[in-house]
């Protein structure tokens, strides 16, 4: 089975801290994604990457950056955490374009910024 | 992209079949129907997808009408662990990878 692993299940950080959320997949997938999920707003795409060192902005990239130095790892960075970034963060991966909608998700990281 | 319409919520008795409908009347010929579900506090999970033929796997069956304007996800013997939000997504499979967008879905509650 494909496994997408997020480094933390729950995280509490202070306002202004730099926060790293890590995601690792073990199926050699080209595409990796970061979403956030908030009540009433559904899943919103923050960034995605279709290859090592490649990244593309999603719908809500402000306040975030990403890093993909290796194919299996995709990191989401909150440069200076703010309370409005309190959310559930979900990482996903998928094959290249032919299977791009068959995505596998991690278990999520619930981040609280205080 | 074709718009999808799903009921907000449904109940199903444990052990019975759960039939979750999805309308996608503007679907085009090269768009697939995908189903995902999200159990509370977990990431979404892929269930099944199809183009025009009915599909079955170990989790569920997908029935697509001949005109492709609607589909039904069938969980043949629902269990309490199937309680989740179920999302129907219609997209061109070879389109941009970023376009996996989830609507509000159907909250399925399986009752003991």
B35-93 confidence digits (pLDDT tens): 999 999 889 999 999 999 899 999 999 999 999 999 999 999 999 999 999 999 988 76
Measure CB to CB from residue B94 to each of A58, A98, A102 and give the nearest one. A98
Confidence at residue B103, expressed as pLDDT on a 0 to 100 scale = 79
Comparing alpha-carbon positions, the chain A residue that sits nearest to B99 is: A101
Residues 6+ apart with CB under 8 A from B83: B39, B40, B108, B109, B110
First to last CA, chain A: 36
- Mean pLDDT confidence for A35-62: 90
Measure CB to CB from residue A50 to each of B41, B42, B97 and give the nearest one. B97
Cβ pair A20, A75 in contact under 8 A: yes
Cβ separation of B100 and A103 shorter than 8 Å? yes
Confidence at residue B93, expressed as pLDDT on a 0 to 100 scale = 63
Confidence at residue A100, expressed as pLDDT on a 0 to 100 scale = 60
Portion of chain A with pLDDT greater than 90, in percent: 70
Cβ pair B65, B42 in contact under 8 A: no
Confidence at residue B28, expressed as pLDDT on a 0 to 100 scale = 86
Q: Which of residues 15-54 of B touch A (CB under 8 A)?
A: 32, 34, 41-46, 49
Confidence at residue B31, expressed as pLDDT on a 0 to 100 scale = 86
Cβ separation of A45 and B44 shorter than 8 Å? no
H helices present in chain B, as ranges = none
Residues linked to residue B8 through DSSP beta bridges, in sequence order: none
Residues A57-89 pLDDT 10s: 988 999 999 999 999 999 999 999 999 999 999
DSSP SS3 for A18: coil
């Amino acid at each position: 089975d494909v496994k997408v692993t997020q480094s933390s299940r729950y995280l509490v950080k202070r306002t202004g801290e730099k926060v790293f959320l890590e995601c690792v997949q073990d199926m050699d997938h080209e595409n990796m994604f970061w979403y956030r999920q908030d009540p009433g707003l559904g899943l919103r795409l923050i960034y995605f990457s279709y290859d090592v060192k490649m990244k593309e902005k999603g719908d809500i990239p402000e306040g975030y950056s990403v890093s993909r130095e290796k194919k299996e790892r995709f990191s989401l960075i909150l440069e200076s955490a703010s309370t409005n970034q309190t959310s559930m963060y979900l990482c996903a991966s998928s094959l290249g374009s032919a299977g791009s909608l068959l995505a596998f998700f991690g278990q999520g990281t619930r981040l609280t910024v205080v | 992209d074709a718009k999808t319409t799903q009921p907000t919520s449904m109940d199903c008795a444990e052990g019975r079949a759960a039939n979750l409908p999805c309308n996608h009347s503007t679907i085009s010929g090269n768009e697939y129907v995908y189903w995902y579900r999200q159990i509370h506090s977990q990431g979404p999970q892929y269930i099944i997808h199809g183009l025009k033929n009915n599909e079955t796997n170990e989790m569920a069956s997908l029935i697509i009408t001949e005109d492709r304007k609607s589909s039904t996800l069938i969980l043949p013997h629902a269990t309490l662990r199937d309680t989740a939000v179920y999302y129907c997504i219609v997209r061109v499979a070879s389109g941009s990878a970023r376009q996996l967008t989830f609507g509000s879905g159907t909250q399925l509650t399986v009752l003991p």
